[in-house]
Amino acid sequence: MVDLQQPGTLLASQFKKKTIKVAGRLLDFSTPVVMGIINLTPDSFYEGSRFEANQDKLLQAAGQMIADGAKILDVGGYSTRPGAAEVSELEESDRVLGAIEALSQSFPSLIISVDTFRAEVARKAVMAGASIINDVSGGNLDEGMFGVVAESGVPYVLMHMRGTPQTMVKQNRYNNLIRDVVQEIAAKLDKLNSLGVADVIVDPGFGFAKNVPQNFELLNNLEYFQNLDAALLIGLSRKSMIWRSLETTADESLNGTTALNMTALQKGANILRVHDVKEAVETIKLWKLTTLRN
């Protein structure tokens, strides 16, 4: 088990910075980077991120995200919002594989992440051009996932979740939220390390088996995740913890997203996963100006 030490009061410049090998080159997190969200689903919670099967719209949106400063684009074909409908493996593959091929051909230097919890979809996506596997279930929903990650040799985003997208809202009872989440992730890191997986990115899983107060508790205690010695991905973009707290909607949650992304950066985030790339890049620039750097 990881030693959940009290992190104390740390400056952002004191956090460990990570470098991972991806797509044949090193991705340096000494300055945090932005991951743009590409949803190929009709029912993702934020309408502005949906591109479905429209390749022209997909490539146009991707080009704009890259121009705005995104280092990674995360492509998903299965909505994981609470209560989302089940999608077959075939349908998910049909949604993402063509898009990944089109993106890799149009933008050869782009780092593409596939957002899937299915091992076979992940394997095919890597063959199609994806160079990161982003698994919201942290290996819980497909026992073959860790093997595919080890065989593919690509970085793996290990997210914390309990249950499934259909049941996770009922899986939010913890003895100690921060300790439980960190230790559950640590156990999986040990397993991945035993399989020879070197490049793992940790995502605490905001909104996944966590209610609104728990999400804010998680954000307030991100320092503890430094004990895992892994790069930290934070996905807060337009989530219900924002719009429920502000009594607005996902469409009206950009300002709240920016505010919480700044908090995440101050607490050690290495990757911001967002719908709105330009604003996230600007947030990082301002964070750099207000942070003591070595």
pLDDT attached to residue 171: 79
173 is catalytic: no
Query: What are the pLDDT digits (tens) for 186-214?
Result: 999 999 999 999 899 999 999 998 999 99
Rounded-to-integer distance, Cα 177 and Cα 175, Å: 6
pLDDT attached to residue 263: 97
Of 188, 210, 238, 239, catalytic: 239
pLDDT attached to residue 1: 45
Query: What are the pLDDT digits (tens) for 64-74?
Result: 999 999 999 99
pLDDT attached to residue 81: 65
188 is catalytic: no
pLDDT attached to residue 52: 57
Q: Please check whether residue 57 is in contact with residue 51, taking contact to mean a CB–CB distance below 8 angstroms.
A: yes
Q: What is the dihedral of CA 280, 285, 289, 290, to 10 degrees?
A: 10
Of 18, 123, 188, 273, catalytic: 273
Band of residue 293 on the pLDDT scale cut at 50, 70, 90: low
pLDDT attached to residue 45: 47
- pLDDT exceeds cutoff 60 at 92: yes
- pLDDT exceeds cutoff 90 at 86: no
Q: What is the dihedral of CA 4, 200, 181, 30, to 10 degrees?
A: 60
Rounded-to-integer distance, Cα 116 and Cα 156, Å: 11
CA distances 102 to 24, 37, 118, 152, Å, are: 20, 16, 21, 21
- pLDDT exceeds cutoff 60 at 13: no
Average confidence (pLDDT) over 228-249: 94
Average confidence (pLDDT) over 11-35: 78
Q: How far apart are the first and last CA of the chain?
A: 32
- pLDDT exceeds cutoff 60 at 96: yes
| CB neighbour list of residue 56: distance below 8 Å, 6 or more residues apart | none
Q: Under CATH, what is the fold of the domain 15-289?
A: TIM Barrel (3.20.20)
pLDDT attached to residue 266: 94
What are the residue boundaries of the structural domains of the chain, listed by start? 15-289
Range in 67-76, 81-90, 169-178 with the lowest mean pLDDT: 81-90
Indicate the helix (H) or strand (E) that contains 115: strand 111-115
Q: What is the CA radius of gyration of the chain?
A: 18
Position with higher pLDDT, 134 vs 291 = 134
Rounded-to-integer distance, Cα 216 and Cα 6, Å: 18
Average confidence (pLDDT) over 97-107: 95
Residue closest to 277 by CA, chosen among 63, 75, 70, 60: 70
Average confidence (pLDDT) over 204-227: 94
Band of residue 153 on the pLDDT scale cut at 50, 70, 90: very high
